[in-house]
Amino acid sequence: MPVLKTITSEKLPIKLWLDDIAGETLTQAKNLANLPFAFRHIALMPDAHQGYGMPIGGVLATEGMVIPNAVGVDIGCGMGVVQTSLSEVSSARLKLIMAAIRKKIPLGFKHHQRPQDARLMPAMAVDRSEMPVIAAEYHKALHQLGTLGGGNHFIEIQGGDDGHIWLMVHSGSRNLGFKVANHYNHLAQKMNRRAGEPIAPSWQLAFFPADSLAGVKYWREMLYSVEFAAANRQLMMSKIKETLAAEIPGVTFAPMINIAHNYAALEEHFGKKVIVHRKGATRALIGEIGIIPGSQGTPSYLVRGLGNPESFKSCAHGAGRKMGRKQAQRQLNLEQEKSRLDEQGIMHAVRSVSDLDEAAGAYKDIDQVINNQLDLVEVLVKLRPLAVIKA
């Protein structure tokens, strides 16, 4: 299926792989389309929904400018997945495995009591003094390495329609990326005020030239945060594999697929070098493997990119919210959401009303999200959740 809809009322077209955009999400997309340095068009993936400044599920290409809020506060957030040699795991073993994982991997706001091995941290391309936020947060980051976080982050054990058991992790750069994002967004706001506010502050899209001193520093610290997030997922996956191997001797593991969906990158599109901001969007070059997770209790998908230029070679990063967190807690029925998971035999994390913000009912239909982007990716493996860990 091609682009579902194109909005042409703004300075640049807005191309939609969804047909249910409205409200603040549409307003944010229109703001992007009217940026003086935006390139070609704006692309909204089928999981798009309201974010801070820029919709989550959005792809923006710019000429020479970088926007911290178009990357987001969880820089480098992404997915990790591993195929195992197992074809099944009993419920009894799953319970033991999940309990052991919870002991090894801190969840929510919890960090490791002791710093992790610094050799597991990404190497620095420049002296630490050239990355002031990273330098200030480095010691704390050693305690955050290998931790899950909260919100929509999760660990799942899944059954694939390829006959294998899979392991999946969704997490990001923890407080390190958050500090980087906020520091440079505030710096960009100050620079824009001094320049006479080239765009409305209410848009929450403060920017700076990528080749400015601030732009160069943000770029370095953003890339380091992306690498830290990947290392974070790598360490957690190592702990999960260790746990599985201790419980089921002889199990083997394929190499980990480890991808980000919150970052900016210098790429060539439509014959021009541009800065592509993917905020809740997965790169989907021709043949590139991607991961599109569902919500708690719904399938996830391993996909292969088709390199569609109209999406700036991108695809969705997940199911996408259809309800805000507080709205979900107010409107969803706890017993119905629990029953939906229990009937599927899924070991889940929905226990109380406060957990409803991450229930399946708060998210879009993942199968519709996949169907809306069959011109962006092809499905390789459908992964059904067996057990879920959330904060």
Distance CA 363, CA 118 (A): 37
Q: Is the dihedral of CA 229, 276, 15, 381 positive or negative?
A: negative
Distance CA 341, CA 298 (A): 9
Distance CA 180, CA 264 (A): 14
- The residue behind tokens 């899979």 is 166
Q: How many CB atoms lie within 10 A of CB 114?
A: 7
Strands 14-16 and 42-49: parallel
Catalytic residue selected from 41, 164, 277, 317: 317
Looking at this protein, which amino acid is placed at residue 367? D
217: which residues sit within 8 A by CB, 6+ positions away?
130, 131, 132, 184
CA of residue 240 relative to chain centroid, distance: 20
- Catalytic-residue membership of 170: no
73: DSSP letter: S
Integer Rg of the chain from CA:
20
Whether residue 4 contacts residue 17, with contact meaning beta carbons closer than 8 Å, is answered with yes
Phi, psi angles (nearest 5°) of residue 105:
-120, 115
Q: How many CB atoms lie within 10 A of CB 104?
A: 13
Point out the residues that are catalytic: 317
